[in-house]
């Protein structure tokens, strides 16, 4: 099997080009692959979000311990969501 790499400019209609290539005689499959930079950027954004969320949760836990405040249970949280 032979492969041909097609590189598109950003903003190019990826699905349209993919369908057109798929219609050519002899094409077995088409696959859209994201660039490594795009994957890396998304991974970094996800890691940053998780870090911020965990930091916020840890700060809330420390504040609750310091002030003697009881944290909300998961059951209470679900009940609150259902009421909304």
Mean pLDDT value of segment 54-71: 92
Band of the pLDDT at 51, cuts 50, 70, 90?
Answer: very high
* Interval 15-47: pLDDT, tens: 888 889 889 999 988 888 877 777 788 888 999
Residue 8's pLDDT is 83
Helices (H), the chain: 14-23, 36-67, 74-83
**Residue 12 exposure: Cα atoms within 13 Å on the Cβ side:** 10
Spell out the domain ranges in the chain: 34-83
Query: Residues 37-66: what's their mean pLDDT?
Result: 90
């Amino acid at each position: 099997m032979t492969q041909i790499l097609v590189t598109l400019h950003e903003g190019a209609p990826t699905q349209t080009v993919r369908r057109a290539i798929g219609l050519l005689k002899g094409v077995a499959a088409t696959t859209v692959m994201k660039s490594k930079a795009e994957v890396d950027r998304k991974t970094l954004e996800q890691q940053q979000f998780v870090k911020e969320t965990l930091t916020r949760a840890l700060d809330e836990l420390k504040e609750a311990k310091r002030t003697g405040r009881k944290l909300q249970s998961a059951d209470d949280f679900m009940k609150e969501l259902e009421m909304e």
